[in-house]
Amino acid sequence: MKTEEAIANYEEYLRAERGLSDTTVKDYLDDIDLFLALMRKAELKHGQGRMFLDTYDFQENDITDFAILQGELDRSSATIARRVSSLYNFFKFLSSSSLLSFVVGEVDRPKASKHLPVILTLEEVERLLDAPDVSTPWGARDKAMLETMYATGLRVSELCALKLKDIKFENHLIVIKRGKGGKQRSVPIGDYALEYLKAYIDGARKENKGRDKPFVFLNRLGTPISRIFFYNEVQKYAEQAGIDKKISPHTLRHCFATHLLSNGADLRIVAEMLGHAHLSTTQIYTHLSDRRIRDAYETHFGRK
What DSSP letter does each residue of 131-145 carry, written as one string? -S-TTSHHHHHHHHH
Q: What is the pLDDT of residue 113?
A: 47
pLDDT in tens, 12-66: 999 898 888 888 899 999 999 999 998 888 777 666 567 889 999 898 778 888 8
Q: What is the pLDDT of residue 75?
A: 77
Q: Whole-model pTM?
A: 0.59
Q: What is the pLDDT of residue 283?
A: 63
Backbone region of residue 222 per phi and psi (left: phi > 0; alpha: psi in -120 to 50; beta: other values) = left
Q: Is the pLDDT of residue 258 over 80?
A: yes
pLDDT in tens, 117-167: 778 989 999 999 999 999 999 999 999 999 999 999 998 888 998 999 999
For residues 160, 222, 241, 130, the Cα torsion angle rounded to the nearest 10 degrees is: -90
Higher pLDDT, 175 or 292: 175
| Residues belonging to the active site | 155, 180, 250, 253, 276, 285
Longest dimension (CA), the chain: 71
Q: What is the pLDDT of residue 280?
A: 60
Beta-bridge partner residues of 88: none
Higher pLDDT, 281 or 261: 261
What percent of the chain has a predicted confidence (pLDDT) above 90? 45
* Average confidence (pLDDT) over 245-274: 85
